[in-house]
A and B are shown apart, each in its own frame.
Chain A
Amino acid sequence: MTAVESYKRMWRIRLFEEVVDRLFGEGVLRGTSHLCVGQEATAVGTCAALRPDDYVTSTHRGHGHFLAKGGDPRRLMAELFGKATGYSRGRGGSQHMACFEIGFLGSNGITGGGIPVATGAALALQRRREERVVACFFGEGAANQGVFHESLNMAALWKLPAIYVCENNLYAMSTPVGGALAGPGVAARAAGYGVPGALVDGNDIFAVRAAASEAAARARCGEGPTLIECRTYRLLGHSRGDRRVYRTREEEAEWRARDPIPRLRDALLRSGEVTALEAERIREEVELEIRDAVAFARESPALPVEAALEGVYA
């Protein structure tokens, strides 16, 4: 993926999330959702290091991972609207959608739930001697689940082609990382399993992509998993209704100043890969795309009630 394409995907995620936030505020969307505004570089940087036929597993905060892997904003939006044209035909919702065709093995409502799933997918690829890898996204909060440790142990033991990408956005819901995670950090836990651990600036897409590329190369040639910890920040609340009483507005402002999107734009302008006008045009294109996605979702039909009863068994 070129840097310019990465830039476009980051805007796609940003504007998608902002529109979703607004639609919730207006009461158009129901239920809840976890938005990843501010974390776009971790999703896109990781996927930029993958091949189209590699896989990713995601979390409750999964819209960005899905779009970064090439998800269609129209079908994502339709899913949030609960429509038949959504990726899960409206049966799944924000935390339960997937598109295996493009290698997106699903968002996940269970914190840490995707970690063993990614590990098992990596096992399947290894068994078939395929040179493909699985990138597993999870938050630092999930690193305290037993399955994190159990999975890393087995992945290391069997040298599975997995990349564990921890998005450490400093809070798990209201819990600051320091109040929940013992030891020097998530990346440092890699040492316990004898695998490489990398700590990167998660708001610097080049740093994320470089770490993920190295991890993917290792995984592809049978050297096993890597644990990457991306330090980042979710700029919005944990979910709908979060009044953010556990952190200060000053801290949020500091992180707004480190917004990964303007950072990439500045780098692209410096390198001459885009002009200011072209950068603006990319954003405008994406804006239209997202508007179109909302219109598509609005106009799409709902799933008939009888169809809610189908699809339980293969």
Chain B
Amino acid sequence: MMEVAASEVRGAPEAAVPRAREVYFTEALQEALAEEMRRDPEVFLLGEDIGVYGGCFGVTRGLLAEFGPERVRDTPISEAALVGMAVGAAILGARPVVEVMFMDFVTLAMDQLVNHAAKFRYVYGEQARVPLVLRCPAGAGRAYGATHSQSLEAWFLHVPGLKVVAPATAADAKGLLKSAIRDDNPVIFIENKVLYQSRERIPEGEYAIPLGQARRVCEGGDVTLVAYSRMAREAERAAVLLAEEGVSAEVIDLRTLAPLDIGTVVESVAKTGRVVLVEEGTRTGGACAEIGVQIFEHAWDSLDAPIRRVTTPDIPIPFAPELEAAVIPAAADIAAAARALVET
């Protein structure tokens, strides 16, 4: 498990701080955790190797020193129980934030998430609140192989009661994680492992970004590219490629998959009449399948061409770096799909 070279640089003296700072994606997440822990003593962290080690990807590095082992709690390798314990703590008013080391391991905790976390509010007659966040490092691109590279978010869209958040930028990661922690529902928070290494500007000072609002990354009139998480960055790159060929693409970064801001998508499709949906997850039953149908339900009459999907094919993620790179969607694939649509 490689670590991200997250710099340990913390805020300089107030006066010298510019209005925006450059931080690693990991640091943006770490700031969100630290700020929420300072704000609310009920927020605490649970996970494997999140203390001294700082988490497999360095996201919790430094938090043990500030908050101590009771609030930055290393657990045994017991995903089913630790997610279940987060549910139990949450119904008594705690706000646990669980790090599952790789999203792939969420499989071990599925019962507690699906049959417990997602159900308690409804079945216990609204007595219960389950304010927990499950942070899930996800995605391929690091040659970790089939059990350490998956994007499993689509599963959770099928579970009423769960929210699903998947930021693409460091600024969004921070603002959305803060909202996720404050939310009174169980939230699956997807962190793409390739994004961890990106260094970006984030706003200075306190801010939170509401769940359920998509972001228009760039405006365009010929085709809409809808994506989230790392694929929103690939879509952005695809828009640049397309612009060079005179095709004007509008990019929508969904940011939250549940609840889904279909309104923003439909508004864009109404303008362009063409849409490419992108996800890193595998194709069948993926997030794009749902988004595509919703577009059809809401805006079939604005479509000038069939909906196109760019996804990972229906296979386990291969280990060999060249094979892995070949099967994960990239900007060129998205641009090719958009080009084909515009030509129809």
Rounded to whole angstroms, the CA-CA distance of A42 and B75 in the bound complex is 26
For residue B321, which residues in chain A have a CB less than 8 angstroms away from its CB?
Answer: 30-31, 82
A181 touches B76 (CB 8 A): yes
B319 touches A91 (CB 8 A): yes
A109 touches B53 (CB 8 A): no
Interface string of B68-112 (1 = CB under 8 A from A): 000000111111110000000000000000000000110010000
For residue B80, which residues in chain A have a CB less than 8 angstroms away from its CB?
Answer: 146
For residue B77, which residues in chain A have a CB less than 8 angstroms away from its CB?
Answer: 111-112, 141-142, 144-145, 172, 180
Is chain B's binding surface mostly helix, strand, loop or mixed?
loop
A240 touches B319 (CB 8 A): no
B76 touches A302 (CB 8 A): no
Interface string of A238-253 (1 = CB under 8 A from B): 1111110110000000
Rounded to whole angstroms, the CA-CA distance of A281 and B342 in the bound complex is 69
B147 touches A96 (CB 8 A): yes
Minimum CB–CB distance from A237 to chain B (whole Å) comes to: 10
For residue A303, which residues in chain B have a CB less than 8 angstroms away from its CB?
Answer: 318, 320, 323
9-residue interface stretch from B199-207, B272-280, B309-317: B309-317
State whether the Cβ of A312 lies closer than 8 Å to any Cβ in chain B: yes
In the complex, residue of chain B having the shortest beta-carbon distance to the beta carbon of A92? B319
Minimum CB–CB distance from B78 to chain A (whole Å) comes to: 5
Interface string of B99-128 (1 = CB under 8 A from A): 000001100100000000000000000000
B323 touches A312 (CB 8 A): no
For residue A275, which residues in chain B have a CB less than 8 angstroms away from its CB?
Answer: none
State whether the Cβ of B3 lies closer than 8 Å to any Cβ in chain A: yes
Question: 8 Å CB contacts to B: which residues of A112-142?
Answer: 112, 141-142
B76 touches A175 (CB 8 A): yes
B2 touches A246 (CB 8 A): no
State whether the Cβ of A110 lies closer than 8 Å to any Cβ in chain B: yes
In the complex, residue of chain A having the shortest beta-carbon distance to the beta carbon of B323? A308
Minimum CB–CB distance from A247 to chain B (whole Å) comes to: 10
Question: 8 Å CB contacts to A: which residues of B317-334?
Answer: 318-323, 326-327
Interface string of B263-274 (1 = CB under 8 A from A): 000000000000
Task: Choose among B49, B74, B79, B323 the residue that contacts A91 (Cβ–Cβ < 8 A).
Answer: B323
Rounded to whole angstroms, the CA-CA distance of A109 and B48 in the bound complex is 16
Minimum CB–CB distance from A172 to chain B (whole Å) comes to: 6
Interface residue count for A (Cβ, 8 Å)? 44
State whether the Cβ of B52 lies closer than 8 Å to any Cβ in chain A: yes
Contact A305-B323, Cβ < 8 Å, known A30-B143, A175-B74: yes
State whether the Cβ of A168 lies closer than 8 Å to any Cβ in chain B: no
Question: 8 Å CB contacts to B: which residues of A233-286?
Answer: 238-243, 245-246
State whether the Cβ of A90 lies closer than 8 Å to any Cβ in chain B: yes
B3 touches A241 (CB 8 A): yes
For residue A174, which residues in chain B have a CB less than 8 angstroms away from its CB?
Answer: 49, 51-53, 74
B326 touches A180 (CB 8 A): no
Q: Which of B53, B75, B76, B143 has the largest number of chain A CB atoms within 10 A?
A: B76
Interface residue count for B (Cβ, 8 Å)? 39
Interface string of B49-62 (1 = CB under 8 A from A): 10111001000000
Minimum CB–CB distance from A219 to chain B (whole Å) comes to: 26
Task: Choose among A109, A241, A305, A308 the residue that contacts B145 (Cβ–Cβ < 8 A).
Answer: A109
A239 touches B1 (CB 8 A): yes
B74 touches A302 (CB 8 A): no
For residue A241, which residues in chain B have a CB less than 8 angstroms away from its CB?
Answer: 1-3
Task: Choose among A109, A112, A243 the residue that contacts B148 (Cβ–Cβ < 8 A).
Answer: A109
A92 touches B105 (CB 8 A): no
Rounded to whole angstroms, the CA-CA distance of A220 and B338 in the bound complex is 63
State whether the Cβ of A93 lies closer than 8 Å to any Cβ in chain B: yes
Task: Choose among B52, B76, B143, B316 the residue that contacts A31 (Cβ–Cβ < 8 A).
Answer: B143
Rounded to whole angstroms, the CA-CA distance of A261 and B52 in the bound complex is 32
B78 touches A32 (CB 8 A): no
A180 touches B145 (CB 8 A): no
Rounded to whole angstroms, the CA-CA distance of A238 and B319 in the bound complex is 20
B146 touches A92 (CB 8 A): yes
Interface string of B187-223 (1 = CB under 8 A from A): 0000000000000000000000000000000000000
Rounded to whole angstroms, the CA-CA distance of A80 and B143 in the bound complex is 10
State whether the Cβ of A94 lies closer than 8 Å to any Cβ in chain B: yes
Rounded to whole angstroms, the CA-CA distance of A182 and B258 in the bound complex is 39
A83 touches B320 (CB 8 A): yes
State whether the Cβ of A57 lies closer than 8 Å to any Cβ in chain B: no
State whether the Cβ of B296 lies closer than 8 Å to any Cβ in chain A: no
State whether the Cβ of A173 lies closer than 8 Å to any Cβ in chain B: yes
A88 touches B319 (CB 8 A): yes
Interface string of B147-174 (1 = CB under 8 A from A): 1100000000000000000000000000
For residue B308, which residues in chain A have a CB less than 8 angstroms away from its CB?
Answer: none
A82 touches B148 (CB 8 A): no
Question: Which 10 residue pairs of A and B lie closest in terms of their CB atoms, listed nearest first?
Answer: A93-B319, A82-B320, A31-B143, A109-B147, A174-B53, A144-B76, A90-B320, A180-B76, A93-B145, A308-B323
Q: Could you write out 20 A-B pairs with CB less than 8 Å apart?
A: A31-B143, A32-B2, A82-B320, A91-B146, A91-B323, A95-B144, A96-B147, A109-B104, A110-B105, A142-B77, A145-B78, A145-B108, A146-B81, A172-B77, A179-B74, A240-B1, A240-B2, A242-B3, A302-B320, A303-B323
> What is the interface of chain A, defined by CB distance below 8 A to chain B?
30-32, 79, 82-83, 88, 90-96, 109-112, 141-142, 144-146, 172-175, 179-181, 238-243, 245-246, 302-303, 305, 308-309, 312
